[in-house]
C-alpha cells in the first residue's frame, strides 16, 4: 500500500488531515536571508496573518532562534497571542496606533506604528505612564497608510525628546516589486530618503530606518538600511518573478488520508449536483478536505490586460469540459490524482491510480497557505520528529513535546 511519504508517528487525535510544518526549513530560510544582510542590518520576521498560515507562535520562535531581531504583526490581537505564548522579542504592530489601544501597547510592550498626525496628536495629549516606542510610517506612493513626508518631519520635530514617546523607527512600504517597476521603487525610496535627510539636518537621529520587504531585499541591497521586514522568503516562497534567487526550503505540506475507496461504473455520477458522469469504470478515493479548508479556492483576480482576459476565458472553457488547468491539487507519492466532480465542503473524490492506493494511504494536497483554514491541525517537525502540535479544539498549551501526548 502507498503510505505516501515515510509515515511519522502522529497521535490519532490529529484526525485524517493536517499540515506538516518543518521548522528546520524556516530556520534554514532565515539563515539564507541573513547571509544577504550586513551585520548592522536587523531582520524583522513578519508573522502577520497567523504567520502566513504557518502558525505565528511557532514561526516566531523558530525565526528568533535562527537570528531574527524583531517581529511584525498587523494587529494587537496578533501580538497578544505571541505574548501569551511567552514570545518576548520586540513586536511592531503595522496597523496605525489607535488611542484606545494605548494601555495594551504599554502593558504588552508593543511598538506602535504612527501613521497620521491626528492619531499622534492624541498621543501627545495623553499622560502616558511609561514611554511608548513608536515607528513612524511615511506614505511615499502606496497611498494606503502613513503620514505624508512633510507631516512626518513636523511630527518628529514636535515629539523628539518627549520622555513618553520614543521615536525608535521610521519606515515606508513599497507598492510594487523592483522587477515590476524599478523606477517606482526608486522614486518611493528617494521620497523616503528626503524625509530622513531633513530629519538628520535638524539633528534628529532615528535608530531603525526600514523600507525593504522580500522583493526589495533581494534586488536592492543599497536599500537594506537598519532593518528589513521579511515574510514571503521566510516561508520558503519567492515574490512573483524572483524564483530561485537564493536557496530556500519549503516548510509547508498539507496531507490527508484516503478515508474511503470504491468503484464507480460508466453512467454513474460523482458528487454534489451530479455534474460529473463516469465514462469508464474508475476506482475512486475520498479525502476529507474541501472548500471549507480553502481547498480548490483562489483569490479572485481581475484580468490585467486583454491577453490575460483571454487566458482566463480559455481556462473556464476547459473547466466546463472537466479539464482543470494548472497545479495538481492532490498527489500520491508524486503522482498527480484527478479530482472528480465538485469539491465538497469537506469531502472530495479523486481518481486512484492502482490497487496500492487504499484506505489509509496518505496524499499531499495543495492548499494556498495564507488562506488555509486555521482549523486544519498543524504538526511541527524538527529533525524529522514531531516537536509540537496545534489543534483547533485545544488551548495553545496543547503544543507539546514529543512523547508527552498519549
Ligand atoms: C507583509 C508586510 C511585509 C512582508 O512582506 P513580504 O513581501 O511577505 O516579505 C513587510 N512590511 C509590511 C509593512 C508588511 O505589511
Q: Where are the domains of the chain?
A: 23-235, 259-359
Q: Give the model confidence (pLDDT) of 9-68 as tens digits.
A: 788 889 999 999 999 999 999 999 999 999 999 999 999 999 999 999 999 999 999 999
Residues linked to residue 337 through DSSP beta bridges, in sequence order = 330
DSSP codes of every residue in 310-326 = HHHHHHHHHHHTTPPPS
Stretch 156-167: mean pLDDT, rounded? Answer: 89
**CATH class held by domain 259-359:** mainly beta
Backbone angles phi, psi at 29, to 5 degrees: -65, -40
Question: Count of residues for the chain?
Answer: 406
Mutate to test the pocket of ligand 1, among 111, 180, 213 (most ligand atoms within 8 A of CB): 213
- Nearest to 149, CA basis, from 185, 188, 179: 188
CB 233 within 8 A of CB 219: no
- CA 12 to ligand 1 centroid distance, Å: 37
Active site residue 190: no
User: Which residues in 308-342 are b (16+ Cβ under 10 Å) and which e?
Assistant: eeeeeeeeeeeeeeeeeeeeebbbbeeeebbbbbb
Ligand 1 atom with the smallest distance to the CA of 230 is 9
Stretch 351-372: mean pLDDT, rounded? Answer: 92
Give the pLDDT score at 286.
97
CATH tag, 23-235: 3.20.20.10
Active site residue 6: no
- CA 295 to ligand 1 centroid distance, Å: 25
Mutate to test the pocket of ligand 1, among 71, 79, 231, 232 (most ligand atoms within 8 A of CB): 231
Helix (H) or strand (E) holding 331: strand 330-332
- For the entire predicted model, the pTM comes to 0.90
Backbone angles phi, psi at 286, to 5 degrees: -105, 130
Backbone angles phi, psi at 139, to 5 degrees: -80, 120
Kindly list the distances between the CA atom of residue 92 and the CA atoms of 67, 167, 240, 345, in Å, as whole numbers in the listed order.
Answer: 17, 13, 26, 37
On the question of pLDDT at 374 being above 70, the answer is: yes
Distance separating alpha carbons of residues 13 and 397, to the nearest angstrom:
16
Half-sphere exposure (Cβ direction) of 56: Cα atoms closer than 13 Å: 24
CB 83 within 8 A of CB 108: yes
Distance separating alpha carbons of residues 228 and 41, to the nearest angstrom:
7
Query: Which residue, judged by its Cα, is nearest atom 6 of ligand 1?
Result: 231
On average, the pLDDT of the chain sits at 90
CB 76 within 8 A of CB 112: no
On the question of pLDDT at 198 being above 90, the answer is: yes
Confidence of residue 8 (pLDDT cuts 50, 70, 90): low
Confidence of residue 256 (pLDDT cuts 50, 70, 90): very high
Phi-psi domain of 239 (left: phi exceeds 0; alpha: psi -120 through 50; beta: other): beta
Stretch 258-284: mean pLDDT, rounded? Answer: 94
Confidence of residue 264 (pLDDT cuts 50, 70, 90): very high
Confidence of residue 216 (pLDDT cuts 50, 70, 90): very high
Residues with C-beta less than 6 Å from any ligand 1 atom: 46, 48, 94, 173, 213-214, 229-232, 239
Confidence of residue 219 (pLDDT cuts 50, 70, 90): very high
Ligand 1 atom with the smallest distance to the CA of 173 is 13
DSSP codes of every residue in 225-247 = TTEEEESTTTTT---TT-TTSS-
CB 285 within 8 A of CB 349: yes
Q: Which DSSP letter does residue 23 get?
A: H
CB 250 within 8 A of CB 13: no
Confidence of residue 327 (pLDDT cuts 50, 70, 90): low
- CA 311 to ligand 1 centroid distance, Å: 29
Amino acid at each position: 500500500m502507498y503510505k505516501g511519504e515515510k509515515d511519522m508517528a502522529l497521535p490519532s487525535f490529529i484526525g485524517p488531515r493536517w499540515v506538516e510544518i518543518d521548522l528546520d526549513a524556516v530556520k534554514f530560510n532565515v539563515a539564507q536571508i541573513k547571509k544577504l544582510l550586513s551585520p548592522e542590518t536587523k531582520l524583522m520576521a513578519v508573522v502577520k496573518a497567523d504567520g502566513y498560515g504557518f502558525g505565528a507562535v511557532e514561526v516566531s520562535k523558530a525565526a528568533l532562534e535562527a537570528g531574527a531581531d524583531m517581529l511584525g504583526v498587523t494587529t494587537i490581537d496578533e501580538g497578544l497571542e505571541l505574548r501569551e505564548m511567552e514570545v518576548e522579542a520586540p513586536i511592531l504592530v503595522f496597523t496605525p496606533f489607535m488611542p484606545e489601544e494605548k494601555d495594551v501597547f504599554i502593558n504588552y510592550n508593543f511598538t506602535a506604528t504612527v501613521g497620521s498626525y491626528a492619531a499622534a496628536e492624541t498621543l501627545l495629549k495623553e499622560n502616558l505612564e511609561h514611554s511608548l516606542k513608536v515607528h513612524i510610517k511615511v506614505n511615499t506612493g502606496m497611498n494606503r497608510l502613513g503620514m505624508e513626508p512633510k507631516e512626518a518631519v513636523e511630527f518628529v520635530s514636535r515629539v523628539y525628546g518627549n520622555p513618553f514617546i520614543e521615536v525608535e523607527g521610521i519606515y515606508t512600504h513599497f507598492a510594487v516589486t523592483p522587477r515590476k517597476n524599478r523606477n517606482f521603487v526608486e522614486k518611493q525610496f528617494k521620497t523616503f530618503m528626503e524625509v530622513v535627510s531633513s530629519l538628520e539636518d535638524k539633528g534628529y537621529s532615528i535608530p531603525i530606518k526600514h523600507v525593504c520587504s522580500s522583493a526589495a531585499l533581494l534586488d536592492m541591497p543599497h536599500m537594506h538600511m537598519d532593518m528589513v521586514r521579511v515574510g514571503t522568503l521566510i516561508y520558503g516562497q519567492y515574490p512573483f518573478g524572483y524564483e530561485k534567487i537564493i536557496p530556500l526550503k519549503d516548510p509547508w505540506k498539507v496531507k490527508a488520508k484516503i478515508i474511503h475507496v470504491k468503484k464507480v461504473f460508466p453512467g454513474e455520477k460523482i458528487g454534489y449536483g451530479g455534474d460529473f458522469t463516469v465514462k469508464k469504470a474508475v476506482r475512486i478515493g475520498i479525502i476529507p478536505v474541501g472548500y471549507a479548508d480553502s481547498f480548490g479556492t483562489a483569490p479572485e483576480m481581475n484580468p490585467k490586460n486583454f491577453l490575460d482576459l483571454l487566458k482566463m476565458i480559455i481556462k473556464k472553457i476547459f473547466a466546463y469540459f472537466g479539464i482543470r488547468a494548472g497545479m495538481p491539487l492532490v498527489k500520491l507519492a508524486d503522482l498527480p490524482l484527478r479530482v472528480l466532480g465538485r469539491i465538497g465542503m469537506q469531502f472530495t473524490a479523486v481518481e486512484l491510480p492502482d490497487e496500492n492506493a487504499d484506505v489509509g494511504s496518505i496524499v499531499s494536497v495543495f492548499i494556498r497557505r495564507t488562506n488555509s483554514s486555521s482549523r486544519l491541525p498543524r504538526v511541527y517537525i524538527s529533525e524529522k520528529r514531531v516537536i509540537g502540535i496545534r489543534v483547533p479544539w485545544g488551548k495553545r498549551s496543547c503544543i507539546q513535546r514529543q512523547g508527552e501526548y498519549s
